[in-house]
Chains A and B, each alone.
Chain A
């Protein structure tokens, strides 16, 4: 059973650019959620995808968008990057409706915006 994998692990962008981060969910998991973790803070929920549709969103502007593919992998896209977007972006997968509600997190993609 493979775990959650994210790519790239590190990347540097400049203000105004766009970025795409990728996530492969754990085998058998059909739900993917994304979190943003600023330095010294706990992760903040961005949104969740289930059956290729967004079905929950945190307090993030529309320039944060995502996709989920038929194989349950996912992308996070951020347009018009701002300096405050510098953070660790975490992907988590789970089985919708699973009683435990346990999320399995990847190691994250660290984005630096200059």
Chain B
């Protein structure tokens, strides 16, 4: 499975934008980039996914580099409820449900 690299932790002030980076230099042409987050004492929650083009939804935006070797999850206005571990995952299309999680980025949001 292709691997991703993320910073262990990041901090943000509430109401400010947050850019969470992810490197995936060995990504293959058919790998989708997925982001999940895990709030304390909960299971992971889907955030967003994309293949080549930038994507927006109600939770976040995903910016994908032109060579697809990196991507950035953007939270436009961080709130205290966004404090979580964020996982960048390359989806194994052979087994659609198999997500290979790394250790993710722990995001702290402060007032």
Contact = CB atoms under 8 A, between A and B. Distances in A.
Interface residues of A, number: 30
Contacts, number: 66
Nearest to A106: B43
Contact of B95 (A48, A104, A108): A48
A43 B103 CA distance: 9
Contact of B43 (A48, A90, A94, A96): A90
B97 A102 contact: no
A81 B100 CA distance: 24
A57 to B, nearest CB: 9
A2 interface: no
Interface of A: 4, 31-33, 35, 40-45, 48, 55-56, 58, 90, 92, 94, 96-98, 100-108
Given A42-B87, A105-B44, A107-B42, A100 B49 contact: yes
B97 A33 contact: yes
B43 A108 contact: yes
